[in-house]
Structure 1
Amino acid sequence: MDLLDWHRDRLSARRLSVLVKHLPRDSALNRELHGEGADWSVTDHLLAAAVDHLAAANWMFACVNSDEGDQPEAPTPVPRPEYREGDDGETDGGEPDAPETAAGPRPPDASNGRPALSPSQLAHFFG
């Protein structure tokens, strides 16, 4: 397909828009717009989240069942692709923007730079 056909009025703007929107995930345009994130599908993100949650659950179990001085180190999350500012409400690292509370944005946790969770949020997560 020749893109000059759009300037020659042989290709409509609507058809060009449809062709661009339905480019494969590994296309040069998607790689330019989304960087490494173009290679990650929803399944890849869900699998990384499942691995992170399993590692956190195992770590919590080990912390509860170990002596005070023999605490294991917290697990490191699976590396995610870098996202550029403005990609689907996410910033670098693929993490959604931190939610704000009435007092403003939550301060990051000192151990991993992520927002600190409140006790009510932890209770809601674990049911």
Structure 2
Amino acid sequence: MDLLDWHRGTLSSRRLQVLIAHLPQDAHVMRAIHGESAEWSLTDHLLAATVDHLAVANWMFAAVNRDEDSEIAEYPTPIPRPGIDEDRDEDADYAEADFPTSRPSELAAFFSR
């Protein structure tokens, strides 16, 4: 497909718009518009969220069922998502949430009682 056909009049504007709208997610144009977040599909985001939730559930289980003398395991780090700054302040993430949530330190203190 030659995009100069649009200038020559042999490719309609509607056809060009349809071609652009249905570009694959990993196309250079999509990466130029959306950055590295274009590389992840909805399925990829859902799988990463599932892995993160399972890691937290396993951490909670281990924290509850540990010996009293042993230390609590380190809170699991989430899978890095494209387009999200990893250096953000952890407390700011909780302040921006639309739902009540607990910090990892609060969960560790609760389960270590």
TM-score normalised over the length of structure 1: 0.63
- Cα distance per residue 1:4-30 (max 9 Å; x no partner): 222222211111100001111221101
Match in the other structure for 1:59: 59
- Cα distance per residue 1:20-77 (max 9 Å; x no partner): 0111122110111122222212221111111100000011112222337622211000
TM-score normalised over the length of structure 2: 0.69
Aligned positions of 1:12-31 closer than 5 A: 12-31=12-31
Match in the other structure for 2:36: 36
- Other structure's SS at 1:58 match: helix
Which 10-residue stretch deviates more, 46-55 or 27-36?
27-36
Answer yes or no: is 1:115 the counterpart of 2:111: no
Match in the other structure for 1:75: 76
Q: CA deviation at 1:79?
A: 1.1
With a CA cutoff of 8 Å and minimum separation of 6, indicate the structure with the bigger relative contact order.
Answer: 2
Going by fraction, where is helix more abundant, 1 or 2? 2
Please, what is the CA RMSD of the aligned residues?
Answer: 2.2
Aligned length: 94
- Unpaired segments of 5 or more residues in structure 1? 83-91, 94-107, 120-127
Match in the other structure for 2:104: none
Answer yes or no: is 1:11 the counterpart of 2:23: no
**Counterpart-to-counterpart distance in 1, 2:90 and 2:65:** 24
- Other structure's SS at 2:93 match: coil
Q: CA deviation at 1:109?
A: 4.3
Match in the other structure for 2:50: 50
- Unpaired segments of 5 or more residues in structure 2? 102-113
Q: Letter of the aligned partner of 2:100 in structure 1?
A: S
